Structure 1
Amino acid sequence: MTRLDALLGGLARERSTGALRLGRNGTIFLHDGRVTYMECAQTPGVERLLTARGRMTEAALRGLQADGGCARLLEEGALTPGELQFAVLGAVLDAAFFLLPISGTRPKFRPGERHWLGGQWFFDVAGLVRECARRRAHLADIWPSAEVDTLPVRPVPWLPGHGVTLTRVQWEVIVGADQKATPLELSKQLGRSGYAVLLAVRRLAAAGLLTPPDPSHTAFLAGPGRGAAADKRPRHAEPADAAESAESDEVADGGEASGAGLPKRARHPYERPPHDPGAVAQPLGPPVTGDPTDLALLMRLKKALEELA
């Protein structure tokens, strides 16, 4: 089975224009061998990002898609070119993150087919691959188990301390969590980038603000062991000992723990494993060609905003 990035590399060398359809998973649009847009069934597209955040109504957007497309959208002034560019960048990087690893499908290329936004921005395939690798490494550095990416988001009913500071996206995730929606389902509901929500969820897990997985799910992986003698088997998340929790709660409320010595610390099921000093940061990408605006600068700005979110 040909890897998707290799297939895209071949289309780039042939300077192909059209749409590479990946079944129900999504579609990759190319112009003259360069990626112009990606759609992924798992992540919100640019349309959802614009309407869910109140930038424009769905009816207005449908009208623009049918008549005039991107040019009319910018002419009417509902969005600035920079706002639209930023939304497209987020949607493409989101889609690439989930589409590029896909295997087992039979892609079909339709020559000449274009996205309604047209060929306004161009992405280098190798750069997209590098950026996806950087994002995966960053997620693993925050919290090493990818299981939280696919399980329903279930905030803890109590704080692990006296207080907590949340970012805007983390607050939206906590408020929007209904115990059933997964991070990607929440991203569509909130109109947020799927990657931004994954970042928020992993940081919530690292802070001990998510409940452990339901026993019916597979074992929660707390990350690989460190050192030659480390146990490499998956480690199950286990509830903290009830007596330890009671002692910890009593001390937190201002009382004294019974028994001699310091009160025991209740280990939270989502306690963060040691940091891996050997993690190598991936270079930022993707480099962009053929765009009158410096999209590479926008990439750096987007990365900085994600770090603050």
Structure 2
Amino acid sequence: MPTVQDVLSGLAAHRATGALHLGGAGTFYLTGGRVTYAESPAAPRVEDLLAACGRVSGHAVRQAMHATEEGRQGGELLISQGVLTRGELELCVLCAVLDAVYFLLEPPHPPDPPGRRPKFRPGERHWLGPHCYFDVAGLLRECKRRRTQLDRTWPSAELDSLPVVPVGRVPAQRVVLTALQWEVVTGADSTATPADLAHRLGRPAYSVLLAVRQLAAAGLLRVPRGELTTAPTSPTAPTPPAEPVPPGLPGPSPGAGTPAGPGASGGPATPGGPGASGDALPRRVAGAGEIRGAVADTPRPSGAAQWLPATTGNPGDVNLLIRLRNALEALT
């Protein structure tokens, strides 16, 4: 049985004009062998995107749809009435088509029942009319690029169809989110999938899907058991900024926060040595000899490091640490 890509490529080769219906999966609209529009239940339509941002009312959309019955193009009617500029309409069509085509060619839904094959209806047009023209080969390349981008961000597709559930506690002092990532977090109710959120927010479904994977890679979403807990570093994933260093306190040492390995302290680690367990070697500080001498006779709990001073229970020292902690928290 030929694939959707095969059928679409054949129609493009014959410069066909009409609609290729894929059952419940969606529809391609072609003009002269090039795709001019596409619809998929997994992605919001042009009218959904325009209505979500308040650019077009439902009444204006219905008028434009009725215009097609009189042989007029609905998109041209919206432009002539001053509802949209031509550039706005073309940009919205571009976004909606690329969004729908991705889910038509990379379907997350089950296949249609046996015997229900793609059906082409010559001459059928979309109510908007042609405003953007896409070569089939270019659409296939764009789908591949988007799939690669998703896999690099979070290499698992299981989150694509599961409800979006933010974590109860953020694993960082501070995180930076894009506007869309914030909308996803605030719109998630632990029942809505990425596709549900896209329709609810009036945002492109692929953009929402990418934002969900970015949030998962940053540790801000709950993932199912067995899923990856970390993802490859991606420039698209939100990264918490470095914490500011209060005045008068030393900054982080070079390499702080990175696992120590062979050569981390300037030389190879030996089996059983200080660097064999992956912990960074303690640094020598001025006055360390005097400290060790002063506390040499102080009893220490078993298992404590022999070069560290004994802990103190002096309330003055504890209060000082509390005040210091509060001051550092006030700076963040």
Deviation at 1:80, TM superposition (A): 1.4
Counterpart CA distance in 2 for 1:196 and 1:132 is: 13
Deviation by residue 1:129-162 (Cα, 9 ceiling, x = unmatched):
0000001101111111111111100001111111
**Aligned residues of 2:217 and 2:231 also touching (Cα < 8 A):** no
The 1:206/1:224 distance shift into structure 2, 3 A limit, reads: closer
Structure 2 residue aligned with 1:220: 227
Task: Answer yes or no: is the 8 Å Cα contact 2:154–2:213 preserved in 1.
Answer: yes
* CA distance in structure 2 between the partners assigned to 1:80 and 1:155 by the alignment: 38
In structure 2, the partner of 1:73 is 78
In the alignment, the residues of structure 2 paired with residue 195 and residue 224 of structure 1 have an alpha-carbon distance, to the nearest angstrom, of 19
**RCO higher in 1 or 2 (8 Å CA, sep ≥ 6)?**
1
Give 2:103's match in structure 1, choosing from 86, 98, 102: 98
Structure 1 gaps of 5+ residues are 226-258, 262-309
Quote the residue 2:145 is aligned against: 134
**What is residue 2 of structure 2 aligned with on the other side?**
2
Unaligned runs of 5+ in 2: 233-302, 306-332
2:157 matches 1:146? yes
Q: Which residue number in structure 2 is paired with residue 184 of structure 1? A: 195
| Alpha-carbon distance in structure 1 between the residues aligned to 2:193 and 2:304 | 44
- Asked if the contact 1:147–1:221 (Cα under 8 Å) also holds between the matched residues in 2, the reply is no
Partner Cα distance (1:174, 1:146) in 2: 19
- Could you give the per-residue CA deviations for residues 152-178 of structure 1, whole angstroms, max 9, x where no partner exists? 000011111111111000010011111
Contact 2:60–2:78 at 8 Å: present in 1 too? no
Letter in 2 for 1:220: E
How far is the alpha carbon of 1:2 from its aligned partner?
0.6
Question: Counterpart of 1:44 in structure 2: which amino acid?
Answer: P
What are the within-5 Å matches in structure 2 for residues 120-269 of structure 1?
Answer: 120-213=131-224, 219-220=226-227
Do the aligned partners of residues 34 and 164 (structure 1) sit closer, same or farther apart at CA in structure 2, a change above 3 Å counting? same
CA positional deviation for 1:212: 2.2
Q: Which amino acid aligns with 1:65?
A: M
8 Å CA contact 1:70, 1:116 repeated in 2? yes
* Partner SS state of residue 209, structure 1: coil
Q: Distance in 1 between matches of 2:167 and 2:304?
A: 30
What SS does the corresponding residue of 2:56 show, helix, strand or coil? coil
1:220: how far off?
2.5
Q: Residues 159 and 90 of structure 1: is their aligned pair in 2 closer, same or farther, counting only changes over 3 Å?
A: same
Report Cα offsets for 1:220-248 as digits up to 9, x if no partner. Answer: 356999xxxxxxxxxxxxxxxxxxxxxxx
Residue type at the aligned position of 2:174: G
Task: Compute the displacement of 1:193 (Å).
Answer: 0.5
**Counterparts in 2 of 1:119 and 1:27: CA distance versus 1, 3 Å:** same
Paired letter, 2:158: E
Q: How many residues align?
A: 224
Tell me the alpha carbon deviations over residues 94-142 of structure 1, each in whole angstroms, 9 at most, x when there is no partner.
1111111356551001111000111221100010000000011011111
Contact 2:154 2:231 in 1 (8 A): no
Q: Is the 8 A contact 1:17 1:31 kept in 2?
A: yes
CA distance in 2 between partners of 1:201 and 1:85 (Å): 27
Once the two structures are superposed, residues 68-90 of structure 1 have per-residue CA deviations (whole angstroms, 9 ceiling, x without a partner) of 41111111122111111111111
* TM-score scaled by length of structure 2: 0.64
C-alpha contact 1:20 1:110 (8 A) present in aligned 2 = yes
- In the alignment, which residue of structure 2 is the partner of 1:25? 25
Q: How far 1:50 sits from its partner (Å)?
A: 0.6
1:246 match: none
Q: Deviations over 1:50-83 (max 9, x none)?
A: 1111111112211122124111111112211111
Q: What is the SS of the residue equivalent to 2:24?
A: coil
Equivalent position amino acid for 2:95 in 1: G
Question: What is the alpha-carbon root mean square deviation over aligned residues?
Answer: 2.0
Shift in Å, 1:189: 0.5
Largest Rg, 1 or 2: 2
Q: Out of 90, 93, 103, which is 1:88 matched to?
A: 93
- State the TM-score, normalizing by the size of structure 1: 0.69
1:4 and 1:101 in contact (8 A); partners too: no
Deviation at 1:12, TM superposition (A): 1.1
What SS does the aligned partner of 1:20 have? strand
